[in-house]
Structure 1
Amino acid sequence: MTEDLLRVEGLRTVFKTSAGLVRAVDGVDLSVPRGKTLGIVGESGCGKSMLSLSIMRLVPSPGRTVDGRVLLAGRDLLPLSAREMRMVRGGQIAMIFQEPMTSLNPVHTVGRQLVEAMQVHSPGLNAAALKEKAVAALKRVRIPSPERRFDEYPHQLSGGMRQRVMIAMALACEPRLLIADEPTTALDVTVQAQILDLLRELQAETGMSIILITHDLGVIAEMADEVAVMYGGQVVERTSARALFEDPQHPYTLGLLGSVPRLDESRERLLAIDGAVPPPFAFPDGCRFHPRCPFAIQACREALPPLRALGPGHEAACIRAPVEEALTLETAA
């Protein structure tokens, strides 16, 4: 038994388009410990969702994963046949997709969609047993009157309820790994807190590992044990959640943290990261963040920096890290 439930090594997913080769996921390495939560954070367009689809082998055409390994408990998922992978999805890895309003089929009842997800992994159960299991799944995610909700359609549920249904579908077959892609998007803060509390409680009950994809650093601070910061289809910083907030080392991470208001600080203006994430078919030479980086020097434009260790369990892809040294040099200049 390895300490890590999931290991991703050198994963590359590309799309061939008329605009050029889109490198959506470009050499990603990360790991998810058993029973822990890995937070993946970054701006829109950094490759977070495409990474999750690559792990699940759900990359839409014309995209394809061209390199790397996805090891679940030591078993590489990429060489598996389509039939073998269908047994892994739901049974061993499950995913909560973005936007529960559009992820559920509006013409089928909640119960039918739950039962359909269970039939593949519980072929021996009859209709009555499947319904009983589906109602239990709804009850497990704290949906009131689960027997009545079983026969209702998605449009009859609130956004928070639909998100709970999505969680129930994902956990119905008790997977070892749950990928939650922006699970609190479009929910108000009260419902968001309830959903996060629910995920935390279910993790404690089942011992599952979680990959939590979000752009919200507050969610990361509350939920994650370890964090991977993504930019330009790559991981640019990887460390524990505590170290990320107390001692960020990549300029991009500094920018993300500086753009969040804090109650313990008084600032007239929040930090903003100039520019925008470059399109994945037109990444700049060298470090992909250098056009937006206040610490960039000529060497940053010449070579793509690899992740390197800066301390125990802390890696960053920046030639000017540690950041304290870069700040000292800028001040002296």
Structure 2
Amino acid sequence: MLLKVTDLEISYGSKVTVTDANIELEKGEILSIVGESGSGKTTVIRAIMGCLPGNGSVSGGDIIFTGKSLLANTQEQWRQMCGTEVSMIFQDSGNMINPIRRIGEQFIAYILTHAPQTSRQDAYQLAIKMLDDVRLPNPDNVMRSYPFELSGGMRQRVGIAMAMTFSPKLLLADEPTSALDVTTQAQIIRQIVDVRNEYNAAVIIVTHNLGVASYMANKIIVMQNGRIVESGLREEVIGNPQHEYTRELLAAVPVVGGKRYYA
């Protein structure tokens, strides 16, 4: 078992926002966590990443990754793990990139932070390879570009490339398509599936769209008001939903030609 989350409870001060969350994930699997805004989806993956904002904390349960409890990590152990063993793609990677520094400067700095023994030339070549792997045309030009010179989809691909640089075992994606147009959304979703296929990484993707989840996930978790109300294999959740909230989410998926398609 790569990741096992048991009875997870997350609090902000005295307020409990997520309770009784349980997740099991094997290497190479894709899990989608779906639900409306405020249901606790992002809070769960931020807890796994060790980056809960403000006074957020894990107040109950455990997070076991590769057989070890992440809750026992020191700050230095979190720093070493994030970006190498566990990486995250944010909702809009463009907002995570410094707008006044070229992509190449930031990518090289990212590599050297995690692998300080690497030469700048080797870091540059590794960045070029990663940009090429996510099918960005003319990677040299991308490295010379400022973020505002790239489209939203290109910036998101830069984020994916950086996240996968050190072949992490687990990739967390926080609504990575919500800021993109429909065509680019489909491209990014396919890109994440390709990343899983190439690196055999486990993926957890947070989305409010069950259509996206049904396309790419092996397993689906449905969250509502900080609780998991349904979970299971994709075929079970999509084909035979047990909870009324899951049925409501499925009913919101657009219908094409009078028939509803989920996969």
TM class, shorter-length:
over 0.9
Residue of 48, 60, 67 corresponding to 1:67:
60
Greater shift in the superposed pair: 110-119 or 122-131: 110-119
Residue of 235, 258, 261 corresponding to 2:228:
235
Structure 1 residue 106 displacement after superposition: 0.8
User: Which structure 2 residues correspond to residues 265-280 of structure 1 after superposition, within 5 A?
Assistant: 265=258
Give SS of 1:228's match: strand
| Amino acid corresponding to residue 213 of structure 1 in structure 2 | V
Give SS of 2:166's match: coil
Pair 1:83-2:76 in alignment? yes
Instruction: State the partner residue of 1:54.
Output: 47
Greater shift in the superposed pair: 213-222 or 60-69: 60-69
Normalising by structure 2, we get a TM-score of: 0.95
Q: Is the 8 A contact 2:217 2:234 kept in 1?
A: yes
Pair 1:147-2:140 in alignment? yes
Structure 1 residue 54 displacement after superposition: 0.6
Structure 1 residue 266 displacement after superposition: 7.1
Pair 1:254-2:247 in alignment? yes
User: Which structure 2 residues correspond to residues 193-212 of structure 1 after superposition, within 5 A?
Assistant: 193-212=186-205
| Amino acid corresponding to residue 128 of structure 1 in structure 2 | Q
Structure 1 residue 116 displacement after superposition: 2.3
Instruction: State the partner residue of 1:42.
Output: 35
User: Which structure 2 residues correspond to residues 125-144 of structure 1 after superposition, within 5 A?
Assistant: 125-144=118-137
Deviation track 1:290-320 (CA, whole Å, cap 9, x = no partner) reads xxxxxxxxxxxxxxxxxxxxxxxxxxxxxxx
Question: By percentage of residues, which structure has more helix?
Answer: 2
| Amino acid corresponding to residue 75 of structure 1 in structure 2 | K
Structure 2: 5+ residue stretches without partners: none
In structure 2, what is the Cα distance between the partners aligned to 1:195 and 1:216?
A: 14
* Count of matched residue positions in the alignment of Structure 1 and Structure 2: 260
Instruction: State the partner residue of 1:112.
Output: 105
In structure 1, what is the Cα distance between the partners aligned to 2:236 and 2:100?
A: 46
Give SS of 1:120's match: helix
Instruction: State the partner residue of 1:165.
Output: 158
Normalising by structure 1, we get a TM-score of: 0.75
Give SS of 1:61's match: coil
In structure 2, what is the Cα distance between the partners aligned to 1:111 and 1:254?
A: 46
Pair 1:5-2:11 in alignment? no
| Amino acid corresponding to residue 181 of structure 2 in structure 1 | D
Q: Is the 8 A contact 1:87 1:120 kept in 2?
A: no
In structure 2, what is the Cα distance between the partners aligned to 1:171 and 1:165?
A: 10
In structure 1, what is the Cα distance between the partners aligned to 2:64 and 2:241?
A: 28
Deviation track 1:170-206 (CA, whole Å, cap 9, x = no partner) reads 0011101100111111211211111111111121111
In structure 2, what is the Cα distance between the partners aligned to 1:115 and 1:52?
A: 26
RMSD in angstroms over aligned alpha carbons?
A: 1.5
Q: Is the 8 A contact 2:19 2:227 kept in 1?
A: yes
Deviation track 1:45-104 (CA, whole Å, cap 9, x = no partner) reads 001111111111101122111222111111111111000111111110000011223121
Structure 1 residue 264 displacement after superposition: 6.0
In structure 1, what is the Cα distance between the partners aligned to 2:145 and 2:252?
A: 42
In structure 2, what is the Cα distance between the partners aligned to 1:249 and 1:199?
A: 28
Structure 1: 5+ residue stretches without partners: 268-333
Residue of 151, 176, 179 corresponding to 2:172:
179
In structure 1, what is the Cα distance between the partners aligned to 2:48 and 2:76?
A: 16
Give SS of 2:2's match: strand
Give SS of 1:124's match: coil
Structure showing greater radius of gyration is 1
Give SS of 2:148's match: helix
Give SS of 2:249's match: helix
Give SS of 1:12's match: strand
In structure 2, what is the Cα distance between the partners aligned to 1:118 and 1:86?
A: 14
Structure 1 residue 24 displacement after superposition: 2.1
User: Which structure 2 residues correspond to residues 296-307 of structure 1 after superposition, within 5 A?
Assistant: none
Give SS of 1:94's match: strand
Greater shift in the superposed pair: 190-199 or 153-162: 190-199
Give SS of 2:71's match: coil
